[in-house]
Structure 1
Amino acid sequence: MEHRKVTKPTTIQSVERATKILLAVAAAPDGASAKEVSNQFNLSLPTAYHLLTTLVREGILSKDARRRYALGPLASVIADAVAGSLVAPQQYLDALTSLAASTRETAYLSAWRGGRVTILQSAEGVHAVRVAGLTRGYCDHLHARASGKLLLAYAPEYLRNSQLEQLKLTRLTSNTITTRRELVAEFARIINEGVAHDNGEFSEDVYCVSVPIIERGSVVACLTVSVPVGRYQSDSAMILARLQDAAEAARVTHS
């Protein structure tokens, strides 16, 4: 049998560089200088400057009197479009479907949208557990959902603190976390283990477990499996392993 050689998609180096610079500037609280960008990405100073100048000219970045670059006015167009959309990369949706099939349980894909942890899509396995209200677009009760706790734990400090100030820790079941102290302690455990659990905290007798989808070091979404508590106790190792495999398979970036 003839085996075809798998080739990587053709990419444009200048676009790759500009994208990496844009993401780096977005992540820098005080912006970045051309020299800092040059050093971070091992670029010549003229190359870094020309890429930054192009992004400024297009309105994606801005430059202040200190010659530091920050997000520009048109960056908000992208941010607003993402915030208002429930669309997810096809690779994420494929991983979600495969996860539901391999675990035979209900699986969810969630991400930040408009400042809320929102369900972007769900997929049912043959043993599907339907939890009332947990449908596409649902974004309430972050403190009681595995996905909500996970994405809050990994969120930038300013976003996490803002959410905690607004969050009503409503008791939904006898297991629901209802104090900020408990929730913050839960965040530390999630960061340490890389996984979040909902042990009947949102819905009695339903166990949910979430793992992050990580792109270039940032948690951008998460996958969750929902299962009856009793079944999770016997299948936990399998479910967690397949969740982690699915999250890795979902990744769009691999450098």
Structure 2
Amino acid sequence: MDEPRSQTRIQSVSRAVGLLLAIAESPDGETAKQLADRAGLSLATTYHLLTTLWAEGMLTKDESRVFRLGPKAMVIADAYQRLTWVPAEYRTALHSVARKTGEAVYLGVWRNGGVQVIDKVEGAHAVRVVGLDVGFTEDVHARASGKLLLAFAPDELRTAILNRSRLRPVTAHTITKKSDLLAEFATIRETGLAYDREEFQIGVKCVSVPLWRAGEVAACLTASAPSQRFDATKDAVIAALREAASSV
């Protein structure tokens, strides 16, 4: 592949990319003034670039004029993820937990605007969760992986997902009130654990832990087990998940 040459670079495009990356690295967003100072650009130039990106859906802007990544940025992120294989260290983590616990272990990530199962390893005593196969993205509110990634997601993304999701009662135990989910998300952020207490399938419970990368939750590991066995072995399962996550 040819290397990019400095004389072929378009300055405005390069500056716009720099602003996008700066915003992506800021969990609370940035104002035009903050970005201008960081980039060493005039406020007028920065504002024109930002408003163009905002108009194209690459950024959002709130009433305080704080810019954050917009929905079109997620399209690019999703496209990149579709081109990538499951990292070897994630596969190692899956196999480690499955071997130690004997349960089914899943890898979940943000993909195509939802929380998708992209890999699964079944342990010696694994119970099959009906429908929860590689590629599944539905009922994010009823799954441990979905609740975990939503809990750690940026506020705007979490709100957008909840607003467009039908919080249907998958089982009698499914949380279907937005306020109850938000309260559970706060607990998840405090403990680093998300549970599915027969909310997706009766007779099966799950627990999920985050996989951190560059200061952000990039994915999650989830283990499932029959409810009675889960209650008896929960501490050991969580320990195995956390040990595997810490090695990634």
TM range (shorter): 0.7 to 0.9
Question: How far apart, CA to CA, are the structure 1 residues paired with 2:81 and 2:177?
Answer: 28
Q: Structure 1 residues 81, 243: CA separation in 2 closer, same or farther (over 3 Å shift)?
A: same
Larger CA deviation: 196-205 vs 23-32: 23-32
Select 1:184's aligned residue among 178, 182, 185.
Answer: 182
Alignment of structure 1 residues 235-246 onto 2, 5 Å? 235-246=233-244
The answer to whether the Cα contact below 8 Å between 2:74 and 2:113 also exists between their aligned partners in 1 is no
Q: Which amino acid aligns with 2:162?
A: L
1:36 equivalent among 20, 38, 60: 38
Query: After superposition, what is the alpha-carbon deviation per residue over 1:135-177, rounded to whole angstroms, capped at 9, x for unaligned?
Result: 1100000010000001011100010000111111111111111
1:209 and 2:207 are equivalent in the alignment: yes
Specify the SS of the correspondent of 1:84.
Answer: helix
Relative to 1, partners in 2 of residues 1:187 and 1:97: Cα closer, same or farther, differing over 3 Å?
same
TM-score where L is the length of structure 1: 0.72
Aligned partner (choices 210, 218, 222) of residue 224 of structure 1? 222
**Alpha-carbon distance, 1:181 to partner:** 1.4
What is the aligned residue count? 208
Distance 1:67 1:124 in 2: 51
Structure 1 unaligned regions, length at least 5: 1-19, 38-48, 53-62, 251-255
Identify the match of residue 100 of structure 2 among 102, 106, 126. Answer: 102
Cα displacement (A) at 1:240: 0.5
- Contact (CA 8 Å) 1:109, 1:224: kept in 2 or not? yes
Aligned runs of 1:65-104 on 2, under 5 Å?
65-67=44-46, 79-85=77-83, 87-104=85-102
* Distance (Å, rounded) in 2 between the aligned partners of 1:77 and 1:159: 13
Answer whether contact 1:85 1:113 (CA < 8 A) is retained.
no
Q: Deviations along 1:60-107, whole A, 9 cap, x unmatched?
A: xxx98444787899x888524235357321111111111111111000
- Identity, % of aligned positions: 43
What's the CA shift string for 1:157-213, capped at 9, x where partnerless?
Answer: 010000111111111111111111111111111111110000100000101000000
Kindly report the root-mean-square deviation, in angstroms, between the aligned alpha carbons of the 2 structures.
2.9
In 2, the alpha carbon distance for the partners of 1:23 and 1:245 equals 32
For 1:135, the equivalent position in structure 2 comes to 133
